[in-house]
């Protein structure tokens, strides 16, 4: 077993422990459904010269049509590389794949889909390239030398329910014999449905991701983290806008349940922490970040020469860019951003099946980061 521990940083991990809660406060739903889905990792990087692809799916498990924001963020500073509006029919499943746009080493990520569900803008048969406009412009205090399209090749995904739909909008996006009635009715850079067609989100979204490298015979699957009770009001926005985002929790209240413990050798003691962040500097961000906070991450690993097995961990810290820029770091973070990232030191210990182990000390994950402390997590989506 591996474990690393330093301080409470909020992380989305491929194996995540959820918390139960109420309808008035955002929480991680252990049932895997919610108003918001966070897919901790996508990649089109290459291993042994063969590129990975990332397959994504989102399921509307309800009998209501929904409008959701789909947003791809690169892994260094969570800069947006693509977003669009997706309209889900009742009981609909949307699927897409992130692939390299070409075989060139620095080629961007590229989204393709053969799905019929309405999107705005429309995603053509050839798909759409990821773009570097946001981080190349230095948005949100990001000042890094690597502004090329290669940064779009790995990151994570957030899908946010903006509204439940009714009326003419719901009719237009609902499938009839597998095809939406009228996708053109919901397209346009500034299109917003009539107010009477928009209702508050009701949740029920579920998602899966698959990382696959066919030529290498490798794949790994995961369930998206599901945030329930994210918003009590509709937050529909046109496809040309950057909202809503993970810091749009409304009301800015969170619910976290601890792991529990035996009390008196008999009963299970469980403590729920409900926090209202209204009036703080980052109310919505604090509400969502608090349900992701970990003081330690634990997981199993396998390293086996006979089967060629190995283990990667992906640690993603959504919303870190709301707390860290190149000039400031807000608690729980301590390091500002530079060309090597915003590096937070962690301790790391590992054990085999016979309890033999050691604490990794004085060495870094490979390749080492120049000038960074040993055993550090520096980017917002990091493969260990």
Overall average pLDDT of the 182-204 stretch: 95
* CA 329/CA 323 separation, integer angstroms: 6
Query: How sure is the predictor about 269, in pLDDT bands with cuts at 50, 70 and 90?
Result: low
Report yes or no: 67 and 235 within 8 Å, Cβ to Cβ.
no
| pLDDT beyond 90 at 253 | yes
- Tokens 């692809």 found at: 53
* CA 316/CA 6 separation, integer angstroms: 16
Give Cβ neighbours of residue 94 (< 8 Å, ≥ 6 apart).
57, 58, 86, 88, 113, 115, 117
Structural domain for 6, as ranges: 2-383
- The reported pLDDT for the residue numbered 329 is 95
| pLDDT beyond 50 at 194 | yes
| pLDDT beyond 60 at 92 | yes
- The reported pLDDT for the residue numbered 86 is 98
For 237-249, the pLDDT digits (tens) are 999 889 999 999 9
Beta strands in 121-172 (DSSP E): 128-129, 154-165
Overall average pLDDT of the 107-115 stretch: 97
Report yes or no: 37 and 225 within 8 Å, Cβ to Cβ.
yes
Query: How sure is the predictor about 189, in pLDDT bands with cuts at 50, 70 and 90?
Result: confident
* CA 384/CA 106 separation, integer angstroms: 22
Residue 70 sits at the vertex; the CA angle it makes with 42 and 237, to the nearest 5 degrees, is: 155
Report yes or no: 187 and 121 within 8 Å, Cβ to Cβ.
yes
Say how many residues make up the chain: 384
Q: pLDDT averaged over the chain?
A: 87
- Tokens 């048969």 found at: 125
* CA 328/CA 321 separation, integer angstroms: 11
Report yes or no: 200 and 230 within 8 Å, Cβ to Cβ.
no
Burial classification of residue 105, based on how many CB atoms lie within 10 Å of its CB (0-12 exposed, 13-18 middle, 19 or more buried): exposed
Sequence-ordered alpha helix ranges (H) in the chain = 133-136, 167-173, 283-292, 320-323
* CA 56/CA 207 separation, integer angstroms: 7
Overall average pLDDT of the 5-26 stretch: 48
Q: Tell me how far CA of residue 224 lies from CA of 40, 57, 101, 274, 354, in angstroms.
A: 7, 9, 24, 23, 33
What pTM was computed for the model? Answer: 0.89
| pLDDT beyond 60 at 2 | no
Nearest to 382 by CA among 334, 344, 332, 325: 344
Residue 345 sits at the vertex; the CA angle it makes with 343 and 350, to the nearest 5 degrees, is: 130
DSSP code of residue 34: B
| pLDDT beyond 70 at 7 | no
Q: How many domains does the chain have?
A: 1
Query: How sure is the predictor about 346, in pLDDT bands with cuts at 50, 70 and 90?
Result: confident
Query: How sure is the predictor about 20, in pLDDT bands with cuts at 50, 70 and 90?
Result: very low
Report yes or no: 161 and 203 within 8 Å, Cβ to Cβ.
yes
- The reported pLDDT for the residue numbered 280 is 93
When computed from its CA atoms, the radius of gyration of the chain, rounded to whole angstroms, is 21
For 205-221, the pLDDT digits (tens) are 999 999 999 999 889 99
- The reported pLDDT for the residue numbered 108 is 97
Percent of the chain with pLDDT over 90: 65
């Amino acid at each position: 077993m591996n474990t690393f521990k330093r301080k409470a940083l909020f992380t989305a991990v491929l194996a995540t422990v959820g918390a139960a809660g109420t309808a008035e406060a955002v929480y991680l739903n252990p049932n895997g459904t919610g108003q918001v889905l966070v897919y901790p990792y996508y990649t089109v990087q290459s291993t042994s010269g063969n590129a990975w692809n990332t397959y994504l799916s989102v399921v509307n498990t309800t009998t209501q049509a929904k409008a959701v924001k789909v947003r791809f963020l690169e892994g260094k500073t969570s800069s947006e590389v693509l977003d669009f509006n997706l309209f889900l029919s009742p009981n609909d499943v949307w699927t897409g794949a992130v692939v390299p746009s070409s075989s060139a080493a620095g080629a961007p990520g590229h989204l393709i889909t053969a799905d019929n569900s309405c999107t705005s803008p429309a995603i053509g048969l050839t798909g759409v390239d990821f773009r570097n406009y946001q981080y190349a412009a230095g948005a949100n205090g990001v000042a890094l030398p690597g502004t090329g399209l290669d940064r779009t090749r790995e990151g994570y995904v957030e899908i946010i329910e903006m509204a439940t739909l009714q009326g003419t909008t719901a009719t237009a996006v609902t499938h009839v014999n597998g095809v939406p009635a009228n996708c053109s009715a919901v397209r346009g850079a500034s299109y917003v449905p009539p107010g009477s067609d928009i209702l508050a989100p009701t949740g029920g979204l579920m998602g899966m991701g698959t990382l696959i490298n066919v030529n290498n015979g490798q794949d790994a699957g995961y369930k998206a983290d599901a945030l329930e009770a994210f918003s009590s009001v509709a937050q529909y926005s046109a496809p040309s806008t950057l909202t809503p985002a993970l810091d749009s929790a409304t009301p800015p209240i969170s619910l976290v349940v601890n792991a529990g413990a035996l009390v008196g050798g008999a009963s299970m003691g469980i403590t729920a922490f409900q926090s209202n962040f209204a009036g703080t500097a980052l109310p919505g961000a604090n509400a969502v970040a608090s349900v992701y906070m970990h003081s330690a991450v634990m997981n199993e690993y396998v390293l086996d020469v006979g089967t060629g097995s190995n283990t990667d961990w992906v640690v993603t810290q959504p919303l870190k860019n709301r707390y860290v820029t190149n000039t400031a770091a807000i608690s729980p973070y301590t390091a500002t951003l530079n060309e090597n990232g915003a590096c937070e030191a962690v301790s790391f210990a590992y054990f085999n099946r016979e309890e033999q182990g050691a604490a990794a000390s004085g060495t870094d994950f490979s390749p080492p980061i120049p000038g960074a402390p040993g055993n550090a997590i520096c980017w917002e989506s990091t493969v260990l």
